[in-house]
Amino acid sequence: MDGDKPSGRDSVDRNVSRRTFVKAAGGAGVAMGLAGCYGDGGDSDGTTVSIGMGTTSIDNVKDRMPELLHENGVDDDITIDWNEQEEASGAQRDQYLQLLQAEEGNPDLMMVDNGWANILINRGLLENVTETLSDDVVSTIEDEYFGPFSDTVRGQNGDLYGVPLFPDFATMMYNKEYAREAGYTDEDFETWSTEPMTWSEWADLVQEITEASDAEYGFTTQWDIYVGTSCCTWNEVMTSFGGAYFGGRENLFGPVGDRPITIDEPEVIEGLRMMYTFATDEEDEITHDDYPVGLADPDIIQYTENSALSPFLQGEAAFHRNWPYALIEAEGDDYEALPEGAGSIGSMPIPYAVERGEGNQPGTGGSNSAQGGWHVALNPYTDNTDAAVQVMEAMTEEDFMLGMMEAQGWLPPKPSMFESETATDPEQVGVVGNHMDTLRVVGQNAMPRPSTSVWSTQSTTIAEQVNRAVAGEKTPEAAAADLQSAIEDIEESA
């Protein structure tokens, strides 16, 4: 993600444990400063491959990742070294830009955010790995990985400029105990886990569960003025209504200044009206007749990831939209207000307004999740290409992916693995194993952010306007019109 919060997560909230935040940060994008290097203690007479990532991620993976790499094909005389980068994703991107433009050969490999990998690709700063990796590995990525995720590290020529490492997908999580109080059972939970609801169906369900339980609010989500709203929560809502910033998926990555701007459209206005209806406390001329008023915690307009999670952890909200780290947090720690035990928290795909393929903009409609995650890219100026390629190819082995899932909670980039016996066993991979069915569904319908050289400016402008609309500071119509004009100006001046 652009900006200072890579997956939109704010600083660690006092109600979210540091242990789980650190683990989740590696799993969904809190990135990785040229502060120094330290290795895995291998043979100093061999080749050393340095991997650039943030200090937090290094602390999390330094013990297990080298073992897994060597177990999956990396020669024993290759030492894995860690090159510390900035923690904030946007700062890390800027640091890589400086290093690569100066033709520095260290680090050999770089963890790159799916939200800005294409910026490095479009400037010719990453090695074309379609030409470097073995044909078998390239075919595996092309044929077996999540397509939308792999596309975020692909050049305009269709080639890959990195190896997809781990994706991140959002779900709608809920308190099963509250749902049981409304009369729902495990059979319902199983259905909800893979069969998306319409926003109208979901809203009625949330209202029913809230009224039957001790929940104060139906749900919480993230709607502050920050990149997480523009890239993710609002993007999910807009796409589910059949809307898009730039006329659909094909224009997500440009060309800037030569693509349609499709914001001042009925489907965008309808999505904003729904969110305003959820957040306001009484009906008025703006509220949407198809949805109940006051379903959301009114503070969503100030919430980012952790602040939105806290009311759910405290039992105040029945439902909550977030990344998989929140599932790990809710089930992995003792919260007095939450039901105890594995499988006590449910998850479901994000609801939708129009059927997939029936949106006004191409490639929209249906349930979708914002696309998060990280890739590993090859520095074109490295002196250790052969060894670095060994490391990248080892990362495509399923045993490596399962090992990192168990050690770090990283989701595998291959949808078929979401159904494997190991990946679905919480005893082996932790809490996230309870939610692999849902994550597989949402992973196949992920929507990347429109990351280009102007996205940082555009994302702030978008977040400001949609925040004001949901806060009731301006009508959805005015917000959409003003946003259309502002994005047009940014595109024209680029």
Assign 10 to helix, strand or coil: coil
Cβ pair 105, 382 in contact under 8 A: yes
Q: If phi over 0 gives left and psi between -120 and 50 gives alpha, with beta otherwise, what is residue 156?
A: alpha
The predicted pLDDT at position 13 comes to: 39
The predicted pLDDT at position 16 comes to: 52
pLDDT in tens, the chain (494 residues): 344 343 433 333 334 543 444 444 333 333 333 333 445 544 446 899 999 998 888 888 999 999 999 999 999 999 999 999 887 888 889 999 999 999 999 999 999 999 999 999 999 999 999 999 999 999 999 999 999 899 999 998 999 999 999 999 999 999 999 999 999 999 999 999 999 999 999 999 999 999 999 999 999 999 999 999 999 999 999 999 999 999 999 999 889 999 999 999 999 999 999 999 999 999 999 999 999 999 999 999 999 999 999 999 999 999 999 999 899 899 877 788 888 766 799 999 999 999 999 999 999 999 999 999 999 999 999 999 999 999 999 999 999 999 999 888 899 999 999 999 999 999 888 889 999 999 999 998 899 999 888 998 999 999 999 999 999 999 999 999 999 999 999 999 98
Q: For tokens 């990283």, what's the residue? A: 410
Assign 278 to helix, strand or coil: helix
Tokens of 196: 């998306």
The predicted pLDDT at position 342 comes to: 67
The predicted pLDDT at position 430 comes to: 85
Cα(91)–Cα(97) distance, integer angstroms: 10
Task: Output DSSP code: residue 287.
Answer: S
Taking residue 285's Cβ as centre, other Cβ atoms within 10 Å add up to 5
Domains of the chain: 47-167+373-433 (3.40.190.10), 171-370+448-493 (3.40.190.10)
> Which run of H or E residues covers position 477?
helix 476-493
CA 142 to chain centre: 21
Cα(316)–Cα(215) distance, integer angstroms: 5
The predicted pLDDT at position 156 comes to: 87
The structure's pTM equals 0.86
Which letter, b or e, does each residue of 372-397 get, where b requires 16 or more Cβ atoms within 10 Å of its Cβ?
Answer: bbbbbbbbbbbebbebbbbbbbbbbb
Q: Which of 21, 90, 117, 33 is nearest to 60 (CA)?
A: 21
